[in-house]
Amino acid sequence: MDGSGTGDLTIAERIRDDLHRFTPTERKAAHVLLANYPVAGLETTAEFAKRADVSAPTVLRFVSRLGFQSYPDFQRALREELDKQGQSPLAKKAYGSGEAGIGGPLAAFRDGLVDNIRETFRHVPAAEFDAVVTLLADRRRPVHLIGGRFTDVLAAHMTAHLRVVRPGVGHISGQPGNWRDQAVDYGRSDVVVMFDIRRYQDDLARLAGVAAGRGATVVLMTDQWLSPIARHARHVLSARVAVPSRWDSLTAMLALSEAVLAAVTERIWPDAEQRIQAIDGLRSK
């Protein structure tokens, strides 16, 4: 098997799906690759092994378990993903191009959205999802949210909902130069939720590094190719974004963030209910 029979799953998705199958040393290699994706896998076998503190044969077994016949095949697949990470609208298919099938381009676009949601939820690790919910449900921990050029609307959406059910929630806004004024106050109790999809923003990655360096817990909502923020993130949830269009779609990521919101709300419902009642009381006045 050369990796071509694994569908359109990214290597990161395959790792998350198969993590339970790896030996303890292979899991070390898996975690290092996910934390430095895809850079670690583009290094030589010896360099990757040294970075993961495992042997070179362990790296080769890890790659084989992912379905690749050789390390060069594995690296070739990573390079193809790297090309997709940087794709601009100029390099993507136009809406309605190619075989649209029954229903035409509109139906094809609909099917792409539905597939994105289905595949996103199929590959969300339950333990990772629960860990994110637990963090956001902890009223003792301040939560700060931010997104990129297109994804900040999702950060604002989640901020507005979380503010209804719990205190201590803020949306990081304004110019990047102003973010440092907020980041200087981050500490071990803070949670920073970041949304970032291809083409990833360097300024968000720098903020993630600052936040993690000050002890804050970084949660990343990203696409299947993983934003560079992943190297600073404690928890990562990824969503499918590719559709038959020159633009990426945020539909699956919105659905995933709303699933997080629903779970957080239920986790803290007794307190959230009282808070909503108080808010409604203020509204009536």
Write out pLDDT tens, residues 98-133: 555 677 889 999 999 999 999 999 999 999 999 999
Residues 215 and 199: beta-carbon distance below 8 Å:
no
pLDDT tops 80 at residue 86 = no
- 180-213 pLDDT, tens digit per residue, is 889 999 999 999 999 999 989 999 999 999 999 9
Residue 180 structure tokens: 């440092």
Residue 3 phi/psi, 5° resolution? 95, -15
What is the average per-residue pLDDT within 250-270?
98
Residue 169 phi/psi, 5° resolution? -120, 130
Of the options 3.40.50.10490, 2.30.40.10, 3.40.50.300, 3.40.190.10, the CATH number for the domain spanning 118-284? 3.40.50.10490
| CA–CA dist 80, 76 (Å, integer) | 6
| CA–CA dist 203, 183 (Å, integer) | 13
In this prediction, residue 52 carries a pLDDT of 95
The angle subtended at Cα 78 by Cα 75 and Cα 82, nearest 5°, is: 135
What is the average per-residue pLDDT within 10-21?
90
- Helix 11-18 and helix 71-85, axial crossing angle in degrees, nearest 10: 120
In this prediction, residue 283 carries a pLDDT of 86
Residue indicated by tokens 């080769």: 60
pLDDT interval class at 59 (50, 70, 90): very high
Residues 34 and 28: beta-carbon distance below 8 Å:
no
Whole-structure pTM value: 0.85
pLDDT tops 60 at residue 81 = yes
pLDDT tops 50 at residue 6 = no
| CA–CA dist 222, 12 (Å, integer) | 12
What is the average per-residue pLDDT within 250-268?
98
If we measure between CA atoms, which residue out of 62, 4, 9 comes closest to residue 32? Answer: 62
Query: By percentage, how much of the chain surpasses pLDDT 90?
Result: 78
Residue 268 neighbours by CB distance under 10 Å: 17
What is the average per-residue pLDDT within 155-160?
98
In this prediction, residue 16 carries a pLDDT of 87
Domain limits, the chain: 4-85, 118-284
pLDDT interval class at 9 (50, 70, 90): confident
In this prediction, residue 103 carries a pLDDT of 77
What is the average per-residue pLDDT within 47-58?
96
* Average pLDDT value over all residues in the chain: 91
Give me the numbers of helices (H) and strands (E) for the chain, helices first please.
12, 5
Residue 110 neighbours by CB distance under 10 Å: 12
What is the average per-residue pLDDT within 20-34?
94
Residue 108 structure tokens: 């094809």
> Which CA distances in Å does 247 have to 8, 9, 227, 229?
19, 20, 17, 22
CATH class of the 4-85 domain in this structure: mainly alpha
In this prediction, residue 83 carries a pLDDT of 83
Report CA 2 to chain centroid distance, whole Å: 26
| CA–CA dist 177, 248 (Å, integer) | 27
In this prediction, residue 108 carries a pLDDT of 92
pLDDT tops 80 at residue 266 = yes
